Structure 1
Amino acid sequence: MKALKKQRLSEQAGEEILGYIKSEELKEGERLPSVAALSERLQIGRSTLREALQGLESRGIVSIINGKGTYVREINPFYIQTTFDIENEQHFLLEVLDVREALEQQAIKLAIRNVQPEDITILSGYLNDYEKALKHNDRKTANKADAAFHQKIYQLAGNDFLNSIIESVADQFNQFWEEPFGKEDIFDESYPYHRSLLEGLQEKDTAKAVEAFHQLIESVRTSLRRIK
């Protein structure tokens, strides 16, 4: 592993540690070097290293056990290598958006065949929580409600393979979507299109639902491109 000197040290450290896991062919359950050892190897502070390890844990790559250490978890078979620097973040997120658009619109088409009135009630509840959280500037709750809304659609699609791919991609990139470029409100403009998407699902109108989803994605795409 090499010393790190650029921005976003915690993210870069995470990629270096992941590279170490792969190069050393560490298996599930094997322990990583101590925090002190990793900090010395990467030449970064312990707080930055802990942030990197927490990022890997959120992606399901390692497990942090207090007082015992950090252990390798089973690497997701759909994991995609994503080494990049801050200058590429905008391009990276736009590419992720393209992938999400392709996968989720198919999930919507499948979900419409299976959606029931009780599912609409659940989806509506998630959007109500989302809206309430935004009004109170509770970003953590808003993100959870938004994720739950989309995950319910994946579930309704009834295609386990598609669902596993979407969730694998979501797990991998979640840390970048939560607060890209350090901005909390970048995706707020997409909220109204969630309501239109729900209406399409409720009416079992595939064209309406897919169009609402495209508008949702385009609003996010526009917000990302607006950042300089």
Structure 2
Amino acid sequence: MRWKLPAGVLMALAFLIPAVPATAQTEPPVLNEACQTVERKVYTDIRELVTIDLDTATNVEVRVLANQILAAANADSLPVLPDAIQEHLDGTADELRAFLKADVQNAWSTALRVTVVRTLTGAGANVKAAAQKALDEGTVDAYLAYLNNGLYAARALDCASQPAPTPTAQPVPTPSATPSATTTIAPAPAPSASLGAPGGEGGGLPVTGANTAAVAGIGGALLLLGGAGYLIGRRRRSRFVA
């Protein structure tokens, strides 16, 4: 039969589980795979969490310890280990105690080894050499030393050995021809002489309109006056002869 805990006890366990250590936030920055500055990630040594005697500890103490290790494994994004712990947390108290006494370190070592192998993707020569050295030693201490320090030291060497990017020569724009400051202003064409203006070149048309009517009127008046004078003079001569 699986070992169960009341809900109140489980809530108490959640408060007892320590938070992720804040030391990672105070660590000096390091370089990532792209040689960019990032925050250092520090992997937890879960052996430091085991502060109880697993042979004499109560079932509650064993369960609290298992949850503390599970929280650290999840914070470190480790493979394998979280699933193994959760599986035994779902089992009996005796199975969980046996796992913590005999198998948890093996699962943790496997998880650290897989994490070391993952750092080889796209790695430089120095990182590959440091990772291979840790893998050849095959101990938890070697894995932790590489993941917490050796990886970053080797990566810094690889980034420093990369050739500096050659700046691309930017084409110098050819200045376009600027227009001359002196602007030649074409002379305005002289207005042609009015065809009807007097004295214009090339001759003009006869004057018509109001001036012509006035001259004709004066001429007609003179003719009338001349005719009337002629008639009056003739009548006078006729009377005188008679």
* TM-score in terms of structure 1 length: 0.28
Higher relative contact order (CA 8 A, sep 6+): 1
* TM-score in terms of structure 2 length: 0.26
Say which one has the larger Rg: 2
Whichever structure has more helix as a proportion of its residues is 1
